[in-house]
Amino acid sequence: MIIIDKEKCTGCGLCASDCLLGEIRLVDGRAQEANQVCYDCGHCVAICPEGAICPQKGEDQILEYDPSLFAIDSERLLNMIRFRRSIRHYKEKKLPREVLEKALEGGMYAPTGRNSQSVRYVVAEKEKDMLVREALSTLNQLSEEILSDPGEAKITKLYAKMWQDLYHSYREEGRDGLFYGAPAAVLVIASQKKSPSTAEIDGAIAAANIELMANTLGLGTCYCGFFNRAFSRNRALQEFAGLKAGEILVTSFAIGYPAVSYYRTTARRKDKITWR
């Protein structure tokens, strides 16, 4: 919901033309808000040259655009993306809460379908070992089913054997082969109830934003697809995450200070692009 200051409004019409839902119209040369189906996307707040529009909540989060603070050189950004690596070795160094919160803030500003902002996060620090124990136990059980099935693909059986090795390494040595001993694991959860057609992509974009922020803070991350596989079959993990009806785990990742250094980028296959 928004509030329009009629004294500041000059009637330029930019807010009305930028409103996807037609929630703003010009009346007697001034913008008039309807606030009937507004989903607080903030476009009208951001586009108004006079600053005549403000949200009913969150006004303290609004920043005026300043090129010296907001503009990022495209080549430097691309180089940062080129250089990112999945980190599988972490320092035994605690993550300060304020650093982790700064990384997660990147997810808050990711776009979501209908501006639902329905993505949430569960950060496991003290209880991360429970996640590893439960997930590896589930994967070990699943591996037995896969290896006994003659119809399973070779790659699937390769993963099944890997899960068994990870399980025994954890049981015998306490080795965390899922989150690689990182000080924290982050679960990204989205609501299909609030955003039925975009929940998965909402969570994925938020996770990508967080990963970029983490890199700027000297942190490393590594997505954990194996954990997602276990999560779908393990009630204890779902209860730990407080999973509600209509919610899904989009992804999970380890996060912490890298214990390894990389000195160059790597090669990638060229994208397949069709120009029409």
| Structural domain span for residue 76 | 72-129+177-256
Name the 3-class secondary structure at 82: helix
Kindly report the average pLDDT of the chain as a whole number. 96
- Residue that finishes a domain, picked among 13, 39, 61: 61
- 14: its two tokens: 């930019």
Together in a domain, 89 and 200: yes
- 157: its two tokens: 């059986």
> What number is the average pLDDT over the span 17-45?
93
Number of structural domains (the chain) is 2
Closest CA to 255 of 135, 126, 95: 95
In-domain check, residue 44: yes
Predicted pLDDT of residue 39: 86
Confidence of residue 57 (pLDDT cuts 50, 70, 90): confident
- Residue that finishes a domain, picked among 61, 95, 112: 61
Together in a domain, 102 and 122: yes
Percent of the chain with pLDDT over 90: 95
Q: Is the pLDDT of residue 1 over 90?
A: no
Whichever domain contains 26, its CATH number is 3.30.70.20
> What number is the average pLDDT over the span 144-151?
95
Predicted pLDDT of residue 237: 98
Does the predicted model carry a pTM greater than 0.95?
Answer: no
Q: pLDDT tens across 170-220, in order?
A: 999 999 999 999 999 999 999 999 999 999 999 999 999 999 999 999 999
- Angle CA 208–210–213, to nearest 5: 115
| Rounded Cα–Cα distance for residues 21 and 15 (Å) | 11
208-230: b or e for each residue (b if 16 or more CB lie within 10 Å)? ebbbbbbbeeebbbbebebbbbb
